Amino acid sequence: MTVAIGIVGCAGRMGRMVIQEVLATEGCILAGGTEMSGGHIGSDLGSLVGMDPVGVSVGDDPHALFSSSDVVIDFTVPAATRLHAAAAEKTGTAYVVGTTGLAPDDQAVIDSAAQKVPTVQAPNFSVGVNLLFALTKQVAAKLGTDYDIEVLEMHHRHKVDAPSGTALGIGQAAAAGRDVPLDDVARYAREGQTGPRATGEIGFATLRGGGVIGDHTVMFSNEAERLEVTHKASSRGIFAGGAVRAALWLQGKDPGLYGMADVLGLD
């Protein structure tokens, strides 16, 4: 079976990586790509990533792309993702979404689409990061609240949301391991006279600089020891590879909102 994959935001950093991954993956064909505006519209998708032309051009109509694709992959921005999720729902097209920095209203549109079409959403599509999520949940469940949990992340200077979606995913995994809502225990910033650390708190620290693709560490600390689990990304290709893997996995699945743990069989 050949799966036709469309890519919204195809001229962006992640979009270009996904193009290359689709072209390199057996069983995939490139259905097309879109940009909301800009000088790339009309460009050949192969030429866009420095490869031979493939005879498919960058368009500006997401609805048309969804209609002509078996599945669409979305690494864009929240405002665009709202439009893309609505297009997935309207056309009945399977959907893979890796956009981060989503507000509750944005997520509601994705949730609505997932009632009609099979959807994989993840804060990070790396296999290694999703193993980190699973390990974090397991360790948090085993260690008591006398172990403090801190999540440290660093990304390139151009990243616009903080903490990263991956850092929040780590926090959610830790909170799930302790069977508490993350919103009840998260601490996103410390400044000035903060007082002692609250028992059970899950803290976040954010660093930005240079061209760092993504470094994440979760720390479990008590008075006697500290356990740290770290993942460092050296290529965005790991995210593109996971997204294409998710797109292939979605074929034949029932409508619903799935995660990479489902794709990888980690649950």
**Structure confidence by residue, pLDDT tens digits, 148-166:** 999 999 999 999 899 999 9
Query: What's the confidence (pLDDT) of residue 236?
Result: 84
Kindly list the catalytic residues: 155, 159
Q: 78-91 vs 104-114: helix axis angle to the nearest 10?
A: 20
Query: Which residues have CB under 8 Å from 45's CB, separation 6+?
Result: 10, 19, 30, 32, 33, 54, 56, 57, 58
Order across the sheet with 214-221: list the strands.
186-187, 202-208, 148-155, 214-221, 226-233
Task: Indicate where the chain has its CATH 3.40.50.720 domain(s).
Answer: 3-121+236-264
Query: What's the confidence (pLDDT) of residue 110?
Result: 98
Please give the mean pLDDT across all residues of the chain.
Answer: 95
CATH number of the domain at 3-121+236-264, out of 3.40.50.720, 3.40.462.10, 3.30.300.30, 3.30.70.2470?
3.40.50.720
Whole-number percent of the chain with pLDDT over 70? 100
Q: Where are the beta strands (DSSP E) in the chain?
A: 3-8, 28-34, 58-59, 71-74, 94-97, 118-121, 148-155, 186-187, 202-208, 214-221, 226-233, 256-258
Query: What's the confidence (pLDDT) of residue 210?
Result: 97
Decide: residue 142, CB within 10 A, 0-12 exposed, 13-18 middle, 19+ buried.
exposed
Q: Look up residue 152 and give its DSSP letter.
A: E
Reduced to 3 states (helix: H, G, I; strand: E, B; else coil), residue 230 is: strand
Domain boundaries 127-233, corresponding CATH code: 3.30.360.10
pLDDT over 90 at 206, yes or no: yes
And the tokens for 68?
Answer: 């002509």
Its pTM stands at: 0.83
Task: Indicate where the chain has its CATH 3.30.360.10 domain(s).
Answer: 127-233
pLDDT over 80 at 126, yes or no: yes
